[in-house]
A and B are shown apart, each in its own frame.
Chain A
Amino acid sequence: MMSGKGLLEVQDLCTYFPINKGVLRQKVGEVKAVDHINISIDQGETLGIVGESGCGKSTLGRSILGLIKPTSGHVIFKGEDVTNMDSKRSRGMRQQMQIVFQDPFASLNPRMLVEDIIAEPLRIHESGLSSNELQSRVEQMLELVGIESDAANRYPHEFSGGQRQRISIARALIMNPEFIFLDEPVSALDVSVRSQVLNLIRNLQKDLGLTYLFISHDLSVVRHISDRVGVMYLGTIVELASKNQLFNNPLHPYTKALMSAIPIANPNIPINRIILEGDIPSPANPPSGCRFHTRCPNVRKDCDKTDMLNRMIEVERDHYVSCLLYK
């Protein structure tokens, strides 16, 4: 479906979580958090994924990194399938794929010095390093993310949210990864600090040639940082396009509703909202056919019967949408 020369290719990836009930904990169902997803990310590119809470964006990222074992499907990183690697080789591969978590207050161990937090990946993957070497690598990283080097001997609680997120980024960068999964890295930050961190993330990409998978529920942040954007709804990608195509010409009714729902910080623009009815259905029991048909303002009579899973229609060049309206 998409060009075959990506740094990272996700093929038909599914991650289902079992629902166990009763004394014997028998499996009574599944939550289809990620359902038959195909994406590819090119070298040096940022792919943004947007969607509401519970749509499976974080599970997608974690399945790609192998932090959650996918149920089926393949993740191909630099031509090698990382889903079924033995643990020794996947360990080597993981050095090149790193993660930055959402909440900088929860993702840094409060009892470790900043120096130890940043050096921990090095201690694991390159165990032969002397303490001097470790220290100089940590200092390099701190400089790279714009934190003064005396921070190394302090604890995370001494830092503000923005600085902590910089420390998280330093920890992700110390193994010189090629691919970083950024899981809502600025959602917990205040507006004035958020733009500082966004600029840092962008500059690092330019300087180090990084490839990002950037997840957020904030469309304006995704537009700022991404090259291409995918919109997720209930475990599936409903639309995937370059950011200009997506923002100038959204096609899927869900994308349109999502965009119109964003509050715009400009009172001069008239508000023209598409208000969706109801809540997101439970992913344990997703609607039949197109998963969005229960809330869709443009629903047709066969939307609930035709399975749209994994059916992406290329409406214009590199602009894919999973919707019967465009068939």
Chain B
Amino acid sequence: MSKLLEVKNLQTCFYSKDKKIVSAINDVNFSIKKGETLGIVGESGCGKSVTALSILQLIQPHSGMITQGEILLNGQDLLKLNEKKMQQIRGNQISMIFQEPMTSLNPSFTIGYQLIGPIRLHRRCSRNDAYDYAVSMLNMVGIASPEQRMKEYPHQLSGGMRQRVMIAMALSCEPELLIADEPTTALDVTIQAQILELMKQLQEKLQMSIILITHDMGVVMGMCDNIAIMYAGNVIEFADKYQIFNYPKHPYTKGLLSSIPSLDYDVDVLNTIPGIVPSISNMPSGCKFSPRCQHALPICKQSQPKSIEAGKDHSVSCWLYEQEGGES
């Protein structure tokens, strides 16, 4: 399978209040193949959403910009396209669903109006055709009595239904890549299970790739093929999910996995990662995890580790493995 999307050395910066430039993501590398699901995992503020917004170039020009890197979609660098060409990529080839289905739908327009708009824009069809198509999309995402729902406003739908509408909207132009930014965080577990199941079915049907952004290890393990773990703006580990779960390399990945309480057995004291996530305006030097890392070496505080191969298709950014690799 060929690579659908490849992100290379991506860096996105924002302007801080005192007119300084701070980088929210730094040297981000990952790739996704056709039909594959990639999970981007990390805690709040680690740059997951900025990565997604950068791929679609939705960073507000007055607040920040992409300063470095390449985003290759089928070999074409999206960063070299002008805004008009980019507009055609968004929706048609890459589509996105957001975390909060209530705030991403406009409360003052009907579901039908909001669905038909993008369909007409991208498919250039008549209003009637777009209406029929929108109804069929709602049907596909499992909404009962779709004609009725077309006339309703977002507040008349439940959270799960709204998220289904968002998915219908995102998929209406049959994109090759769907970016889902915490699609189920605002939903209850039984509804979350419905939505995740729906996304899986639709992926199979439409043969699309998904980038799933979440902080929930459980969700990624159930949905994804490959996982990228992010910490403080860097992808610190990238591998398939079995590698990540069975043989995690980076101390942060290990800590993250062991601090989740298990459903199957009891532990007296949960494993913790000491300290807190650094803020983007006050990043530690060297490896950004080093102040919280139990295995930190002197070099960790001085320079940032590069991403190295720690196994087949398993890359990690940590000095512990760099040295290991150098010695052997």
Contact = CB atoms under 8 A, between A and B. Distances in A.
Interface of A: 52-53, 160, 162-163, 190-196, 198-199, 202, 217, 219-221, 223-224, 247, 257-268, 271, 273, 275-276, 279-280
Contact of A279 (B191, B222, B262): B191
B192 interface: yes
B242 A261 contact: no
Contact of A192 (B259, B261, B263, B269): B259
B104 interface: no
6 contacts: A160-B277, A191-B43, A191-B260, A199-B272, A220-B260, A280-B158
Nearest to A52: B188
Q: Which 9 pairs from chain A and chain B are nearest by CB?
A: A263-B218, A224-B261, A265-B217, A261-B193, A52-B188, A195-B259, A190-B43, A195-B270, A192-B273
Contacts of A258: 189-190
A118 B61 CA distance: 43
Contacts of A261: 189-190, 192-193
B190 A52 contact: yes
A277 to B, nearest CB: 8
Contact of B245 (A53, A195, A199, A268): A268
Contacts of B267: 224
B216 interface: yes
Contacts of A264: 218, 221-222, 263
A220 B267 CA distance: 11
B172 to A, nearest CB: 23
A279 B188 CA distance: 10
A263 B219 contact: yes
Interface string B249-285: 0000001110111111011011111101100000000
Contacts of B160: 279
B4 to A, nearest CB: 22
A88 B72 CA distance: 70
B261 A275 contact: no
B221 to A, nearest CB: 5
Nearest to A196: B272
Nearest to B46: A190
Given A217-B189, A223-B261, A263 B194 contact: no
Given A220-B261, A264-B263, A273-B197, A192 B190 contact: no
A307 B22 CA distance: 61
Interface in B81-139: none
B261 A268 contact: no
Contacts of A260: 193
Nearest to B252: A192
Contact of A263 (B222, B256, B276): B222
Nearest to A277: B194
Contacts of A163: 276
B154 to A, nearest CB: 15
Contacts of A223: 261-263, 266
B189 A195 contact: no
Interface in B185-217: 188-194, 196-197, 215-217
A221 B197 CA distance: 24
B116 to A, nearest CB: 25
Nearest to A163: B276
A194 B262 CA distance: 14
A267 B218 contact: no
A157 to B, nearest CB: 12
A118 to B, nearest CB: 20
Nearest to A295: B190
A3 to B, nearest CB: 23
A217 B197 CA distance: 20
B74 interface: no
Contacts of A162: 276
B148 interface: no
Identify the interface centre among B196, B259, B271: most chain A CB within 10 Å of its CB. B259
B245 A267 contact: yes
Interface string B217-231: 111011000000000
A195 B193 contact: no
Nearest to A193: B276
Contacts of A276: 190, 193-194
B188 A199 contact: no
B217 to A, nearest CB: 4
B193 to A, nearest CB: 4
A266 B271 contact: no
A114 to B, nearest CB: 17
A280 B190 CA distance: 10
B44 interface: yes
B241 interface: yes
A268 B257 CA distance: 14
A308 to B, nearest CB: 19
Given A195-B272, A275-B193, A275-B194, A263 B221 contact: yes
B202 to A, nearest CB: 15
B10 to A, nearest CB: 23
B161 interface: yes
Given A192-B273, A268-B242, A219 B263 contact: yes
A324 to B, nearest CB: 21
A190 B185 CA distance: 13
A241 B189 CA distance: 21
B246 interface: yes
